[in-house]
Amino acid sequence: MNKKNKAIIYMLISALAFSFMGAFVKLSGDLPTFQKTFFRNLVASIISAMVIIKNKESFIGKKENRKILIIRSTFGTLGMLCYFYSIDKLLLSDSSMLNKLNPFFVSIFAFFVLKETLSRIQIPALIMAFSGAVLIIKPEFNMSVIPALIGLIGAVFAAGAYTAVRFLGGKEKFYTIVFFFSAFSCLATLPFMIYYYKEMNIQQMMYLVATGVFAAIGQFALTIAYKYAPAGEISILNYTNVLFSGVLGYFIYAQVPDFLSVIGYFLIILAAFMIYYYNNYKTKMSKEVRANVKG
C-alpha cells in the first residue's frame, strides 16, 4: 500500500473516531459539560503519557515553546467546552458541521497573526462557508439560537488552537502537544468539575472513558495521516466526520437534519472542496515550474 492510501485510511479512521467521541459525549446524558470535558481529557492524557514514556520524550515540551503550548491549550480547552455543550443541545451532525468551520477561521487567524496571504479563492469560499453556517444556525433572535452560536464560537477557539499548532510546526512531538493540552484541560476544568459534579452511574462512566479513548485514537490517527501525505491532499476527508456523525445520530437518536441544515452542509463542504482543489492545483503548477527550470 502506498503512502497516500495509508494516509486516506488513517484520515477516515480519525474522522470515524471523532464521530464516536461526539456520540459518546451525547450518550453520557445530562452531566455538566465541565465534567465531560475533564474525563475526556483525563483518559487522553493517560494514553498520551504512555506514548511519551515509551518514546522517552518530554511531557512539557521545550522551554521556548511553552508559551505557545499554553495558548494552544487555553484555546483548545475553551473550544472543547463549547463543542461538548453544542453536542448536548443540537443534532450530532449540526454540532459536528459547525465545529468543522474551524479551518476557515484558521485562514482568518493566519492572515492576521501569521501574516499569511489570503488566496483569491479563500474569500468567496469563506463567504460560502459562513452562509452555510447561517443556514445551520437559523438565527431567530431568541434563546433557542444560543447552543448553535456557542458551537460556532467553539470553532473559533479551535481555530486559535490549530493556529498555535501551526506556529509550533515540527518543534514539538505530536504526543507532547496532545499530553500538554489534555493535562492543561484537566487542571483548568477540575475546580469547575468538582463544584458542578453530578453523580454518575457505571454506564455514564464507561461512556466518558470511551469518549477519551476515541478522542485519543482520532488525534493520533490524524497526526499519522499527515505524516504519510501533505495536509492539503487529504484534509478534505476530515469532513467525512459529518457524514459519520449523521449516520450515528440517525441510528442512535433517530435525528434527521432539516432541509436548511443539509443545504448548509453542502455549502460548507463545497467551500472546503474549492480550497482543496485550488491548493492542489497550485502545488501541481509549482512542481511543473520547478521541473521545467531544472530541465
pLDDT of residue 105: 84
pLDDT of residue 223: 74
Extents of the domains making up the chain: 3-294
> Looking at this protein, which amino acid is placed at residue 63?
K
Interval 245-273 mean pLDDT = 89
User: Hey, what's the cell of 86?
Assistant: 453544542
Range with the lowest mean pLDDT among 18-22, 137-141, 155-159? Answer: 137-141
Among 230, 257, 273, CA closest to 7: 230
pLDDT band at 222 (very low <50, low <70, confident <90, very high): confident
pLDDT of residue 142: 66
pLDDT of residue 233: 65
pLDDT of residue 26: 92
Residue 241 has pLDDT above 90, yes or no: no
Range with the lowest mean pLDDT among 20-24, 125-129, 285-289? Answer: 285-289
Q: To 5 degrees, how large is the angle CA 33–CA 37–CA 40?
A: 140
Per-residue pLDDT tens for 167-183? 776 788 878 888 999 99
Catalogue the long-range contacts made by 279-286 (C-beta closer than 8 Å, 24 or more residues apart): 279/232, 280/232, 280/233, 282/119, 283/230, 283/232
Per-residue pLDDT tens for 93-108? 899 888 888 878 877 8
